[in-house]
Chains A and B, each alone.
Chain A
């Protein structure tokens, strides 16, 4: 993959995301609040899968944390 293309894509994506306006109202997070919409909805399964892939392949991790959900309080 072309490194220049990657950089441009990342910057474009970041610009899109950091666009200051919050287009989602706090009360519109009903679907995001559901457990199936969590970024990691089954941490133990993710841990098992990551362990298997790490043992058999040369790549690992990448996943992040934080954000999403109901955004309450």
Chain B
């Protein structure tokens, strides 16, 4: 049954509904918004780190939203199947959200505090910066609304 549904889903050759993120609804959470694509090497390196952050800080109020910018749905699907993200994935193939956020490199991520204000922007992803980013998350989580 699951295979059948997957097949039907895949045969539609389209993305799931375009990302509509209600940031108002997310107030009170620390939100990590990440723009990624399957063809981006550093994005692949960032997923295990984001999984780790999700596991450690989700209960403490961290919401990770990884917005996919692939143009070919199958490539995004394969990437997701391989990297097995535990956090929320949204799709933005037209790049509308990326445009709004003024994404200027791949990947780009934003750390939004509990009041809804964007406090940190990460251009690209480097393994050695992981600790620094983690510290930023901790700082924002400690802040009250």
Q: A26-B105, A73-B105 are in contact. Are A33 and B99 (CB under 8 A)?
A: no
Main secondary structure of the interface of B (DSSP, over half): loop
Q: By CB atoms of chain B within 10 A, which of A26, A28, A29 has the most?
A: A26
Chain B interface residue count, CB cutoff 8 Å, equals 25
B100 at the interface (CB under 8 A from A): no
Contact of B95 among A28, A34, A72 (CB under 8 A): A28
Pair B126/A73 contact, Cβ less than 8 Å: yes
B 93-107 contacts with A by CB, 8 A: 95, 98-99, 103-107
* Complex-state Cα separation, A29 to B106, whole angstroms: 9
* Stretch from B11-19, B35-43, B111-119 at the A interface: B35-43
A38 within 8 A of B: no
A39 within 8 A of B: no
CB-CB < 8 A to A42: which residues of B?
none
Q: Collect the chain A residues with CB atoms within 8 Å of residue B42's CB.
A: 72-73
Q: Is A65 an interface residue (CB 8 A)?
A: no
Pick the contact of B103 from A27, A31, A34, A70 — CB < 8 Å?
A: A27
B106 and A26 contacting across the interface, CB-CB below 8 Å:
yes
Bound-complex Cα distance A39 to B120 (A) = 35
- Chain A nearest Cβ from B40, distance in angstroms: 5
Tell me, in angstroms, the Cα distance from A29 to B105 when the chains sit together.
10
Contact between B103 and A30, CB atoms less than 8 A apart = no
Min CB gap B122→A, angstroms: 10
Chain B residues with CB under 8 Å of A26's CB are 98, 103-106, 108
16 contacts between A and B (CB under 8 A): A25-B98, A26-B103, A26-B104, A26-B106, A27-B106, A28-B95, A29-B39, A30-B69, A70-B40, A70-B41, A71-B105, A71-B106, A73-B42, A73-B106, A73-B124, A73-B125
Given A26-B103, A70-B106, A72-B43, 16 extra CB contacts under 8 A: A25-B99, A26-B108, A27-B95, A27-B103, A27-B106, A28-B95, A30-B71, A33-B40, A72-B42, A72-B105, A72-B106, A72-B107, A73-B106, A73-B123, A73-B125, A73-B126
